[in-house]
Amino acid sequence: MNLELQQFKANFFKALGHPLRIRILELLAEGDKNVNELQTLIGSEGSAVSQQLAILRNNNIVYGTKDGNKVTYSLRDPMIIELLSVARQIFNNHLIDTISMLDRFNEE
């Protein structure tokens, strides 16, 4: 069981391991969007957005709901929003530590 959980976590974080996928998730955290909306907000080609959405969908991180000829994407689990927030806090902590280290270095 522990090995299965570790494998799930590894695959999950691997699926998150691309800046465009993270940006898509940040936008979906604000609300459901279709590919055209995501493409406009990101300023990227539709094919790139579609490719990244496919990876997120294949890893059960987002899901699509077909509405006519459009597919609207949503976060599968709202805990993703919290995960992204925690990642931002970790980044900020790292940045604060780096700034403190530079301040100490400049004082010498």
CA distances from 43 to 50, 62, 82 (A): 13, 20, 25
Whether the CA torsion 47, 14, 24, 43 is positive or negative: it is: negative
Q: Would you kindly state where each structural domain of the chain is located, as residue ranges?
A: 2-76
What pLDDT does 35 receive? 93
Give 35-46 pLDDT, tens digit per residue: 999 999 999 877
pLDDT above 80 (res 62): yes
pLDDT above 80 (res 51): yes
- Amino acid in the structure at residue 89: Q
Could you give the dihedral angle defined by the CA atoms of residues 107, 93, 17 and 24, in that order, rounded to the nearest 10 degrees? Answer: -120
Is domain 2-76 annotated with CATH 1.10.10.10? yes
